[in-house]
Structure 1
Amino acid sequence: MDQNLQVVGTESQLEMGTLAQNGSPLEFEEQSLFSPESGTQKMQPGHISEYGSARGGFQPGVSKMWRNVVYKSIKTVIFSNKLNVLIPFGPLAILVRILTGHNGMVFLLSLLGIIPLAERLGYATEQLALYTGPTIGGLLNATFGNATELIIAIYALRHGMIRVVQLSLLGSILSNMLLVLGCAFFCGGLVFYRKEQVFNKATATVNSGLLLMAVMGLLFPAVLHYTHTEVHYGKSELALSRFSSCIMLGVYAAYLFFQLKTQKDPYIPLSEEGSLNGENDIDDDETPEISKWESVFWLSIMTAWISILSEYLVDAIEGTSHTWNIPISFIGVILLPIVGNAAEHAGAIMFAMKDKLDISLGVAIGSSTQISMFGIPFCVVIGWIMGQPMDLNFKLFETATLFITVIVVAFFLQVSMSVI
């Protein structure tokens, strides 16, 4: 019996030795202890002296991998765009404010520093939109595309500069609907003068209706003020503005639900549905350049940096107006909207020159719709919370200008759709 046990033990030891030589399960057990991958070689005593202990053996490799990821992300986001040469103007504005306090230079440097940050904010949003799909991606583009204006408006509200908030938001709507849309149609027509460009009718119709509703919300407080029919002077106008703002925010929420849940097909651009000849634009498929979490990280960094520069920008507005003899209305209506939307405006024109008119309309009309239906009412509610009397009375001339602009653009889109 003892001899049989010795024979069996000897045979088992021989089998185990053979398996260990030919890549046995023992080897795979050792590999699983030291390597997350199945193809990694077994840790030898010589490797331990190179990498350290077995527990922290791969820390240098992981550290090198993270350094490569960080370097690639910084290279892609920061050094891939020539406009980013303006980024140093942001820290320079802070330095000038601390050393000299010259409001004009601080305002100018802050404007120049915000331009590339707004463009990179849009870039990170587009990269994140590639992971979320076209519908949510369009919502993200519209939201973060106007983040710069909203951040500046909130800081201006905190300083009690209600008129600057009204003029900057009004200027954003006018610049999108007149300057951007007009340049997009003009440049697209020059490039494709032998071709009839088309766009999505449903999107244009819905946005035109929302813009008309927003104009009505801005028109009633102005009419109430200039007809002197208020029951309580000054209070009725503010109460009507806050009530209208809540209604407009509710309508905008319903519009988002309509866009995200119930009606997805009308909001697919014509380029995704296929051309008029039935051909698919396969070449237009984009692949993300950075990962999803990198996009979220850069969105946070850009938003925080824009917030810091916006505070310096708002603080220097009044001093710049007195130093350079520039009206605050010109700063609010012209300078702030153009700087905040410079990269977005250029993108809309470039898309029109590539025969992607749907995207150009989404940038111009969609951005105006969000500012009028969300940005302005949101600022009224934020001012309500801060104790600032922000209302929807944009004065008679400004309100009439916005009303005429919306009517002209809506009529133009309707005529274009009837021709098509």
Structure 2
Amino acid sequence: MSRLFEEIRSSPLLWLLVFVPVVLGVEIVRPDAHTLLFLLSVLAIVPLAALLSLATESVAERTGDAAGGLINATLGNLTELVIAVTALAAGQYALVKASIAGAIVTNALFMLGACFLLGGLRHHMQDFNRTGARLQASLLFIATVALLIPSAIVAADNIDNPEAIQKLSLLLALLLVAGYVLGLWFSLGTHRTSFASAAPAENHHVPLPIGLALVTLAAVTVLVALVSHIFVASVEVAGAALGLTPAFVGFIVVSLVGGAAEFASAFAAARKDRLDLSVSIALGSAAQIALFVAPLLVLLSYVVGPAPMGLDFWPGAVVMMVIAALSAALLTAGGHSAWFLGVLVLMVYAIFALTLYVLPLSQ
């Protein structure tokens, strides 16, 4: 633990961890102070993200970038999962689907594009394992196809049979989970050597002991989930005060803050020329949400929800998810990156953000 305290003392950014107990305390004393809770939760999530980044890098030092990216994506997505399960239990299915779509688009475009840009500003040209990127992008595209089908069939053929759509959603959810498990077996088991880093890592930082790193990952993830829950509960009121549309808040604001932990890890890795870890976190997180988190929420809706939830999304969300998957697949196909490639990816994300800001989606 002394090593962890040394890291906190040496980093002014981690001093902001004091806001974690502050926001938890204010939420108990003044739960109706939404604007204050919004600001405090943002100040608390930032240092938690930095601490999670430190622990993830320490784990990746010993497990490799592919496994390290998987660990970071999994723990980072627990935040979105906790928020979604809470909304699921309340029957807020529109919010659940908005969080799913927003997280997929944000991870596949914003996180990936920012990694290319930040890494490219420090390194003239960066390489990454295109085999791993191609696998994650392919899994993401297949998952978005599964999310597209129920919505497309209902719209194209005017099917008015909720029971049939729900049955299709259940079968697709089981199929997606099976595909995700097989993908893990392929990348971490039978073909693990094919997913080795494309370039040697530039890392002069002494990693945390593996036991301390794993404990830190688990503890910080729980704290991120608690603070993110407070953030989501207050962001709608704060968003309304700022004149932001519900679609913009759900897709953009919530996704950006909710994914802060993963962003910190991916951005730091890109700056250190560890683009394999960055790409693995970005695409792996998006694919995990589409292949595992979304189907899991469908299955959990039978247990904790007031009614079963389907995989049918509104047309605007489906279009954005499909475009995000295709853009990620196209821009990672070469296995090379420069700063302008990051600009191109971020432009796609900016197009979506401006559209949601000016023309809110009909949910």
For residues 129 and 187 of structure 1, the distance between their equivalents in structure 2, rounded to whole angstroms, comes to 20
The answer to whether the aligner puts 1:214 opposite 2:132 as a matched pair is no
The answer to whether the aligner puts 1:265 opposite 2:193 as a matched pair is yes
For residues 187 and 75 of structure 1, the distance between their equivalents in structure 2, rounded to whole angstroms, comes to 27
Does the 8 Å CA contact 2:65/2:197 hold for their aligned counterparts?
A: no
Q: Deviations over 1:253-275 (max 9, x none)?
A: 00011112100111110224xxx
Q: After TM superposition, list the pairs within 5 Å mapping 1:69-80 onto structure 2.
A: 70-76=1-7, 78-80=8-10
Kindly state the Cα deviation for residue 133 of structure 1 after the two structures are TM-superposed: 5.3
Gaps of 5+ in 1: 1-69, 273-280
Matching residue of 2:57: 126
Kindly state the Cα deviation for residue 190 of structure 1 after the two structures are TM-superposed: 4.1
Q: 1:405 to 1:131 in 2, by over 3 A?
A: closer
Kindly state the Cα deviation for residue 378 of structure 1 after the two structures are TM-superposed: 1.9
Q: Deviations over 1:165-217 (max 9, x none)?
A: 22223222222222222233334444444xx4332121122122111101111
Count of residues paired in the alignment: 334
Q: Deviations over 1:270-322 (max 9, x none)?
A: 224xxxxxxxx6x6476432x33323332332233233324433433444455
Matching residue of 1:169: 100
Q: Deviations over 1:65-120 (max 9, x none)?
A: xxxxx4443333x3343322332333333333344422232233223322322332
Q: 1:311 to 1:297 in 2, by over 3 A?
A: same
Kindly state the Cα deviation for residue 249 of structure 1 after the two structures are TM-superposed: 0.6
The answer to whether the aligner puts 1:90 opposite 2:20 as a matched pair is yes
Q: 1:288 to 1:352 in 2, by over 3 A?
A: closer
Does the 8 Å CA contact 2:52/2:261 hold for their aligned counterparts?
A: no
Match of residue 244, structure 1, among 166, 172, 175: 172
Matching residue of 1:299: 217
Letter of the structure 1 residue corresponding to residue 108 of structure 2: M
Match of 1:385, SS?
coil
Does the 8 Å CA contact 2:69/2:277 hold for their aligned counterparts?
A: no
TM superposition score normalised by structure 1: 0.70
The answer to whether the aligner puts 1:186 opposite 2:114 as a matched pair is no
Matching residue of 1:226: 155
TM superposition score normalised by structure 2: 0.80
For residues 71 and 163 of structure 1, the distance between their equivalents in structure 2, rounded to whole angstroms, comes to 45
Q: After TM superposition, list the pairs within 5 Å mapping 1:382-393 onto structure 2.
A: 382-388=300-306, 389-393=308-312
Matching residue of 2:354: none
Match of residue 313, structure 2, among 387, 390, 394: 394
Matching residue of 2:333: 414
The answer to whether the aligner puts 1:160 opposite 2:78 as a matched pair is no
Matching residue of 2:132: 203
Does the 8 Å CA contact 1:125/1:144 hold for their aligned counterparts?
A: no
Kindly state the Cα deviation for residue 231 of structure 1 after the two structures are TM-superposed: 5.5
For residues 73 and 352 of structure 1, the distance between their equivalents in structure 2, rounded to whole angstroms, comes to 23
Q: Work out which structure has the larger RCO, using CA pairs closer than 8 Å and 6 or more positions apart in sequence.
A: 2
Kindly state the Cα deviation for residue 346 of structure 1 after the two structures are TM-superposed: 4.4
Does the 8 Å CA contact 2:269/2:277 hold for their aligned counterparts?
A: yes
Does the 8 Å CA contact 1:122/1:145 hold for their aligned counterparts?
A: no
For residues 271 and 61 of structure 2, the distance between their equivalents in structure 1, rounded to whole angstroms, comes to 22
Q: What is the identity percentage for the equivalent residue pairs of Structure 1 and Structure 2?
A: 32
Letter of the structure 2 residue corresponding to residue 330 of structure 1: F
Match of residue 184, structure 2, among 253, 256, 269: 256
The answer to whether the aligner puts 1:379 opposite 2:297 as a matched pair is yes
Letter of the structure 1 residue corresponding to residue 310 of structure 2: D
For residues 347 and 88 of structure 1, the distance between their equivalents in structure 2, rounded to whole angstroms, comes to 21
Kindly state the Cα deviation for residue 353 of structure 1 after the two structures are TM-superposed: 4.1
Q: 1:176 to 1:300 in 2, by over 3 A?
A: closer
Letter of the structure 1 residue corresponding to residue 105 of structure 2: L
For residues 114 and 347 of structure 1, the distance between their equivalents in structure 2, rounded to whole angstroms, comes to 13
Give the root-mean-square deviation of aligned CA atoms: 2.8
Q: 1:241 to 1:80 in 2, by over 3 A?
A: farther
Kindly state the Cα deviation for residue 359 of structure 1 after the two structures are TM-superposed: 2.5
Does the 8 Å CA contact 1:155/1:310 hold for their aligned counterparts?
A: no
For residues 90 and 316 of structure 1, the distance between their equivalents in structure 2, rounded to whole angstroms, comes to 16
Letter of the structure 2 residue corresponding to residue 401 of structure 1: M
Q: After TM superposition, list the pairs within 5 Å mapping 1:110-121 onto structure 2.
A: 110-121=41-52
For residues 95 and 139 of structure 1, the distance between their equivalents in structure 2, rounded to whole angstroms, comes to 33
Letter of the structure 2 residue corresponding to residue 386 of structure 1: V
Letter of the structure 1 residue corresponding to residue 24 of structure 2: I
For residues 191 and 311 of structure 1, the distance between their equivalents in structure 2, rounded to whole angstroms, comes to 35
Matching residue of 1:404: 323
Match of 2:312, SS?
coil
Does the 8 Å CA contact 1:93/1:106 hold for their aligned counterparts?
A: yes
Letter of the structure 2 residue corresponding to residue 166 of structure 1: K
Q: 1:200 to 1:332 in 2, by over 3 A?
A: same
Match of 1:79, SS?
helix
